[in-house]
Amino acid sequence: MKPRINYAKTAPGVYDAMDALDRYLAGCGLQKPLLFLVQLRASQLNGCAYCIDMHWKDLRAAGEKEQRLYGLDAWRESPYYTDREKAALAWAEAVTRIADGHAPDAAHEEARAQFSERELADLTLAVATINAWNRLSIAARLTPGTYQPAAA
């Protein structure tokens, strides 16, 4: 697969805008491993190989256990995730698949039971942001495998 768009070269403002969202999320108070799990799950749903590679590596660098990463596709049937993580993953799936059900009330209620209103707003932004990154990466056909996580 040949890359299509080099955003950094042709439209650096794209990365500037997306990086501003990431900087906000980095300081929003949600736990980094939780954000990485949500980013990885949304990327799996969207089929974004570049972002799957990135967030898998980020989670491993943060000390995440491989078992939890291997089981992420079947998180509902896996005992490896906390109730808070399950609520975040359910919300991430609902927002990622917004066209399929407009974020059902059940997913919202589950998330509200685990997250404050502010946290849920930040979580929703995190899901919207990774979905945007997925779409930018897929459209550009970014090549997976080259990403290296920052040193812990």
- Which tens digit of pLDDT belongs to each residue from 19-60? 999 999 999 999 999 999 999 999 999 999 999 999 999 999
Q: What is the pLDDT of residue 152?
A: 61
CA separation for the pair 126, 57 (Å, rounded): 18
CA separation for the pair 30, 119 (Å, rounded): 7
Classified as helix, coil or strand, 47 is coil
Return the number of other C-beta atoms located less than 10 Å from residue 59's C-beta: 22
The residue range of the domain holding 55 is 32-140
The CATH number of the domain where 97 resides is what?
1.20.1290.10
Q: How confident is the model at residue 14 (pLDDT cuts 50, 70, 90)?
A: very high
At 118-144, the pLDDT tens digits run 999 999 999 999 999 999 999 999 999
Number of compact structural domains in the chain: 1
Average predicted confidence (pLDDT) for the chain? 96
Q: Please report whether residue 26 resides in a domain.
A: no
Please say if the pLDDT value at position 151 is more than 90.
no
Q: Please report whether residue 9 resides in a domain.
A: no
Q: What is the pLDDT of residue 150?
A: 84
